[in-house]
Structure 1
Amino acid sequence: MTTLGSITYDEAIHFHNDSDAQKDGILTVSADNLERLDHPEWAPTWDVKDDHAFENPKPFRHTDRALFADPTFQSLTGDKNVSVRKVTPKLGLEVDGIQLSKLSDKQKDDLALLVEQRGVIAFRNQDLKFESFDTLKKWGEYFGPLHVHPTSGAPLHQPEFHLVFRRGSAEEQAKVFANKLHNIAWHSDVTYENQPPGITLFAMLQSGNSGGDTQFLDMFEAYDRLSPFMKQKLEGLKVLHTSKDQAYYAKLTGGIERKDPVDSIHPLVRYHPVLKRKGLFINKSFSRRILGLKVEESDNLLLFLLNHIESCLDAHVRMNWDADTVVIWDNRRVLHTATNDWDTDEIRHAFRITSLAERPVESEQEYENWTPEAEEKNIALTDYFVGLTPAEYYDKVISAPK
């Protein structure tokens, strides 16, 4: 992670012109690191031809596959050779004996519900990384349109995959803590999208013997801990999420922007249409301010909520990795953070496939009444709402007739 002002970005996903290289006209990691890859077909690349070659997704009606699931999960856990362990009573599972690459559509429906109910699941002894890119994309597309990350590395000509590559050098690790005390950055992926991801798969390609866990935090639980009075005060509040700072950092380090930066306005408290629960929907990486509040008011309320989230270590789990582990989580429910706790020259290399989900909403009624056509009109008004003063926002939005 690198801090840009008070904003932290993950160096493991971006090109670095001071240490990376070009090969055959394509931006990629250094020749030394390329030689050390266990899976060179997954080498991170940034094709300059992709710069602004993609459009931001248009509104669409998402169908959550969990709505078709069998809540007994017999198709997944009924086999006597399948082992399931709860990481905590409320959050997380570890599963062995299920091969994700072999799941039927029915099993994928059940998988979606199981992931949403448990928040995050680690699947051991997986072979997904040996499947073709087309097979993996088809697997992910079952849950929704695949997200194309605007700035991260991807396998050559495969922008639907997001790569995390922690370069193998003790010097790189030392730089992480050169100017800060820790590297924890709780976030939900790409919440600046108008319809951010839901089901998210993260597969390890190459890992060390220990360390580098990914931590997950339950935003349902964080919301439930608040007092009834505080919950009432948060109702109706909207937050600006932006990709502009991430895009700036990518260009600063010599990378690309596959699509234009985007601002989106999301509810501070988000309703989950399958589980019918509410959770906080903010994170330090992309949430910038609460609309309708003055700067100091917004900063202080966001700071309170972010401090509350980060202190909820009794609502979080740590998932540890080996080279054959795949972790799937519900990006609507949990935050996650990398853990930089090793100082060797081991490479850490992984890929992510993530499917876009529904437009974040605050209530079941809003979810049922939502249409892509109306959303197009709302998107067109984003700059207008962001530009209103707190007094104007109160008059035109909060106190306006519904």
Structure 2
Amino acid sequence: MTYEISAVRQDPQFKTFTAKPVAGALGADIEGLDLSQPLSDEAAEEIRQAMVHFHVLFIHGLDLTPAQHVQIAKVFGDVQMGGTIPRLEEQPEVKKQEYTQQAGIGGDVNMHADDTFKEIPSKCSLLYGVKMPPAGGDTIWINTEAAYAALSEPMKAMLDGLTAVHDLADKFGLNKWGMADHEARVKISEHYPPVIHPVICVHPESGRKSIYVNEMVTTRIVGIPDEESKTLLEFLIRHLKKPEFQVRLHWPETGTLVIWDNRSAQHEVMPDFQPQYRLNHRVAIKDTVRPQAPADAIRSAA
């Protein structure tokens, strides 16, 4: 199946706001939606539909309080708590993602979907630019459904039944020289042991298939030799990162909210802004189901 770009596909029309595509594969600017007040039931349903269809939504020119940020986030489900990122004392649902010259930007420079090292990764994220650098620090999102659709049919058939290990300790259990740190790996694994997810997943709402591996925490494909696993993962990561599957945002210095579907989009930050300061507020939404392989999705629907 060929994934239709915005120039030729039929995008839905919404009654409560306007959605303007910003790239061929994914992304839309949302205009005419007042987030200073609770959304009507109709607007809430339409913004959820827009996220699934466009994968990433951009809303500019805002002045959101943390409470308003949480208010719009809850339109998409229950807020995900826990994790290691600091939270606002006055609004603990909101994570404070602060990048300083000393702190660095860590794993965000690798393309990834959030929380795939968990049994049930997050459903979506809402990221608000509080203070963004005037240059650099762009974020790129990719459409993993479009990437799957662009594969050859023999490759799709081979991948559909495979699973892969997602291991946070393998990426972050390192010392300052980039060497494996046994103590750090043990500590991370105690909180987040390796999990296995399908290589190809089916979106629970749209029914579309996507590639569900990432360069941050996917370490190997189960059931095939290490050399084949390494080669296949490298191919899939290169394929996912092709420009035709991307949308890129240079953040205004303040006031932009981005909402993305973590089940069909991956993202990474460009590490070209330090020593400039960057501050985001982020709210993640819990999912209720594990990522499903095509065969599992068929059985669930039966």
1:350 equivalent in structure 2 = 280
Note if contact 1:96-1:123 (Cα within 8 Å) is conserved in structure 2.
Answer: yes
Mapping of residues 1-400 of structure 1, within 5 Å: 72-77=13-18, 84-102=19-37, 103-128=39-64, 130-132=65-67, 136-156=69-89, 160-167=93-100, 169=101, 184-245=109-170, 248=173, 260-310=191-241, 312-322=242-252, 323-342=254-273, 345-357=275-287, 358-363=289-294, 364-368=297-301
Shift of 1:193: 1.6
**SS at 2:78 equivalent:** coil
Shift of 1:267: 0.7
Give, in whole Å, the separation in 1 of the partners of 2:118 and 2:74: 18
Give deviations 1:258-287, integer Å, cap 9, x for gaps.
x82232211100101222210100101111
Shift of 1:75: 2.1
Query: What amino acid maps onto 1:145 in structure 2?
Result: D
**SS at 1:318 equivalent:** strand
Shift of 1:151: 1.9
| TM-aligned CA distance change 1:120 to 1:296, over 3 Å | same
Shift of 1:165: 1.2
TM-score scaled by structure 2?
0.81
Give, in whole Å, the separation in 2 of the partners of 1:163 and 1:131: 10
Point out the more displaced range, 217-226 or 236-245: 236-245
Point out the more displaced range, 141-150 or 105-114: 141-150
% identical equivalent positions: 28
Give, in whole Å, the separation in 2 of the partners of 1:336 and 1:76: 25
1:384 equivalent in structure 2 = none
Query: What amino acid maps onto 1:274 in structure 2?
Result: E
Give, in whole Å, the separation in 2 of the partners of 1:350 and 1:230: 38
Note if contact 1:112-1:199 (Cα within 8 Å) is conserved in structure 2.
Answer: no
Query: What amino acid maps onto 1:89 in structure 2?
Result: G
Query: What amino acid maps onto 2:134 in structure 1?
Result: N
Higher relative contact order (CA 8 A, sep 6+): 2
Give deviations 1:142-184, integer Å, cap 9, x for gaps.
42232235222222375533332111x4xx59x88xxxxxx84
**SS at 1:284 equivalent:** coil
Give, in whole Å, the separation in 2 of the partners of 1:238 and 1:267: 4
| TM-aligned CA distance change 1:325 to 1:157, over 3 Å | closer
| TM-aligned CA distance change 1:94 to 1:295, over 3 Å | same
| TM-aligned CA distance change 1:105 to 1:92, over 3 Å | same
Structure whose residues are more often helix by fraction: 1
Shift of 1:194: 1.4
Note if contact 1:247-1:261 (Cα within 8 Å) is conserved in structure 2.
Answer: no
Give, in whole Å, the separation in 2 of the partners of 1:88 and 1:368: 32
Shift of 1:300: 1.5
Shift of 1:365: 1.7
Note if contact 2:131-2:277 (Cα within 8 Å) is conserved in structure 1.
Answer: yes
| TM-aligned CA distance change 1:286 to 1:222, over 3 Å | same
Shift of 1:72: 3.7
Shift of 1:296: 1.6
Give, in whole Å, the separation in 2 of the partners of 1:292 and 1:120: 34
Give, in whole Å, the separation in 2 of the partners of 1:366 and 1:192: 25
Q: Which has the larger radius of gyration?
A: 1
1:23 equivalent in structure 2 = none
Give deviations 1:313-364, integer Å, cap 9, x for gaps.
1110101212000000111111101012335x43100011111223110233
**RMSD of aligned C-alpha atoms?**
2.9
Give deviations 1:8-66, integer Å, cap 9, x for gaps.
xxxxxxxxxxxxxxxxxxxxxxxxxxxxxxxxxxxxxxxxxxxxxxxxxxxxxxxxxxx
Shift of 1:137: 3.7
